[in-house]
Structure 1
Amino acid sequence: MKLFIKQNWKKILMIGVLYTCWSMIAFLFLVALQGRTLTLEQFGGKNIFWNFAHSILKGTVVYYLLIFRIIIPSLERKDWKKLGWQTALFFIVLTLYEYIWAFHIDTPIVLDQHHTTVRTFVLSIIMLDVLILLVSIFAAVLMISNEMSQRKAELEKQKLKAELAAVKYQINPHFLFNSLSFIYTKTYRTQPEAAEAVQLLSEIMSYALEDWGELGTVPLMSEVAQMQKVIAMNQIRFNHQLAIQYHEEIGFKEVQVPILVFVTLIENAFKHGDLTDAQNKLNIELKVTESQVHFLLQNKKKKGIKEPSKGIGLSNVKKRLDLMYGSRHSFTIKEDEQFYSNEITINL
């Protein structure tokens, strides 16, 4: 419960403040329209403060659940079926609560003698529910649109930084690839494995330097091909002594993923992992369906002195995933004294 409040208190407070302001404006409008005495009677007379507090609390909870727990997640996933049944169930529960509050808690009455009152109540509740739903959808769409604009602006900002960094630190790609081509030609006959490693390195660097648009996304199979090249190059580097278990289950290929996200995590495993233990292999799993991309990487930690690292690659992966997918993804890191794992889930 504490974690829930910590993660959501700003959203709850925002809705509470806005709903309180709206309720006070509505109350003052009714006072001006029909008089203070009648309005106070409608709001419960002596119990006005209790009823007003109950209304604020109920409205805050209703709008929070509708906007942040039902509508926004469904709109982001484009799951219209889920949105429909969750909204219907929510309003059924809300109507039952309103019914109990109106006729058994706030102002108890004998229902058999007040059929007209009940019919009026049901009609007014239906109209109110429709209004609440429309307001919630409008607010949710507005928030999603604003978040998308912020993400796009941040992505463009990050792209500009990357381009500036590339200008500052880059070696002329033509010089680099010409040099690699020269080394490949010279070693092809005498050292075929070294030549193959040079060729793989050239292809990986070409892939990394290619312009993939403002979002920096690539076809899934392109990223998979680079993952396999990185694995093959490192096997050559360590004389095929690495214990690696790679499994992929790709049921849907028409997916775009952020460039080098999976490759970066695999490179980290080669840099910091002990990959020579046959009992604890580097485990790489990729499963893709029409609705989800799931990537799992687990490795045993290398003992002794660690290679220096600023964690830039991992931080970059986190930030890009967050900017591109927001609540539609999860990126989990688990580690103990012996083992380390990364898990990425992207809901399409």
Structure 2
Amino acid sequence: MHSARKHISQFLLLLLVWMLLVYGVSLLMATRHIPQVMWRITINDGLFGFLNFMQFYIYLKWILPPFLEKKNVVKLFSWLIPILLGFILLKYAVAKNFFPEETLYRGYRIEQGQRVEIYTTLQQYLVNGLWSGAIIIIAAFSAHLFMLWLDEDKRRAILQQKQLQAESGFLKMQLNSHFLINSLNSIYSLALTGSPEVVPANKTLTNLLAYMVNQPADIEGREPVLAEIRYLQDFVALQRIRTGCEQGVIFNWPAQLPDKSIAPLLLVPFVENAFKHGITNRPEKPVTITLQGSEQQLVFSVHNFISGAHHDKTGGIGLDNVRKRLQLIYPGQHQLEITESKAEYFINLTVNW
């Protein structure tokens, strides 16, 4: 049923375009809008334009596709020639029997003082029909190749979309696994010391993992920005539990944010990088996370002081992957600035919603 509707829709669309180009243009270009002229246009470009379209459509749907698939020239001409001649004879029969004055009349000449009406003969009509038929065949070829190009372009777009989704899912999986290893190491350290913070840390990690698992690999997937903030809050809470320094991380965001959405898990790698390579247990040198949003864009920044033990290891797989995700998900819609010195590391990300 769906296939039938598709073919009918395609037929009607092609017919509309054809008649607009042939019949509609002739009506617009008519110099005299008198009934006789309009009637001739209707017969020659309307009725016979429709017959030409049917010839075109037969070529397009049933003759050319098998030829282009199998490249059988003999079989192609064995169909083209009979159909071409058949339509010429059909149009001549319609013209001669119903509309000779409108289609075949060529004027008159005077012979021996008598007016002799001149009409297009079958031979003349056949020659003219061969030329117009050749144009119709070329039009069908061109339309078929154009439709093949459209289908191929659509197929390439679908494949590219699937490839981007797979790549985005793979990059996100790498980020998630990186984060999971770090978090489990933190909880393991708490367990070794017998810290009572193991239980809340485990609960926070459970919330984080539940949020991560629920995110689809679809590149078009988005989450409310408030959900991402809650995720970052849990992430920061887990770090504070691990270090035991409440003021080692400062997270600022406005009380009011626009009701917008963002690609999930896009911001946490920057925070994770700051935790991994920065100082998070000294209130005088905190990791500072700032999030701001307007109706047009999100601005996210992370600043940290570099730990001497990790000075040469900033960046890594997390930031490499998040750069790739930004290119995949927000091409031309983001700006990432990274400033690094011997003592400090600062990133500023701007994303257009």
- TM, length-normalised to structure 1: 0.46
The two structures have a TM-score, normalised by structure 2, of 0.46
Decide which structure has the larger Cα Rg and report it: 2
